[in-house]
Amino acid sequence: MERLQKVIAHAGIASRRKAEDMISSGKVKVNGKVITELGTRVTPSDVIEVEGIKIERENKVYFLLYKPTGVISAVSDDKNRKVVTDFLPYVDERIYPVGRLDYDTSGLLLLTNDGEFANLLTHPKYEVHKTYIARVKGLVSRESLRKLEKGVKLEDGMTAPAKAKVVSADKAKNKTIVELTIHEGRNRQVRRMFDAIGHPVQKLKRERYAFLHLGGLSTGDSRELTPHEVKQLRALAESGTK
Indicate the average pLDDT of the chain: 93
Residue with the larger pLDDT of the pair 115 and 234? 234
Q: What is the mean pLDDT of residues 107-134?
A: 89
Burial 171-209 (b: 16+ CB within 10 A, else e): eeeebbbbebbbbeeeebbbbbbbebbebebeebbbbbb
- pLDDT (average), residues 142-160: 96
**Helix and strand totals (H; E) in the chain:** 6, 17
CA 87 – CA 242 distance, rounded (Å) = 31
Structure confidence by residue, pLDDT tens digits, 8-38 = 887 778 888 999 999 999 999 999 999 999 9
| Residues 6+ away with beta carbon under 8 Å from 156 | 186
CA 159 from centroid of its chain's CA atoms = 19
Q: Is 39 left (phi over 0), alpha (psi -120 to 50) or beta?
A: left
Region 35-60: what's the mean pLDDT?
A: 89
Output 121 or 134, whichever has higher pLDDT: 134
pLDDT average, residue stretch 90-111: 94
141: Cα within 13 Å, side-chain hemisphere: 5
**pLDDT tens digits, residue range 190-220?**
999 999 999 999 999 999 999 999 999 999 9
What's the confidence (pLDDT) of residue 239? 80
158 pLDDT band, cuts 50/70/90, is: very high
pLDDT confidence of 242, banded at 50, 70, 90? very low
Mean pLDDT, residues 180-187 taken together: 92
Q: SS3 for 64? A: strand
Set 21, 46, 102, 221: catalytic member: 102
Catalytic site residue 102? Answer: yes
If we measure between CA atoms, which residue out of 237, 164, 222, 238 comes closest to residue 196?
Answer: 164
Q: In 10 A of CB 105, how many CB atoms?
A: 23
Under 8 Å between Cβ of 29 and 187:
no
Q: Is the dihedral of CA 89, 92, 93, 94 positive or negative?
A: positive
pTM: 0.80
Q: Is the dihedral of CA 27, 29, 32, 36 positive or negative?
A: negative
* pLDDT over threshold 70, residue 241: no
Amino acid, res. 170: D
Which stretch of 22-31, 109-118, 165-174 has the lowest confidence by average pLDDT?
109-118
Distance CA 168, CA 8 (A): 51
Q: Tell me which residue of 65, 104, 92, 79 sits closest to 188, measured CA to CA.
A: 104
pLDDT band at 66 (very low <50, low <70, confident <90, very high): very high
pLDDT band at 240 (very low <50, low <70, confident <90, very high): low
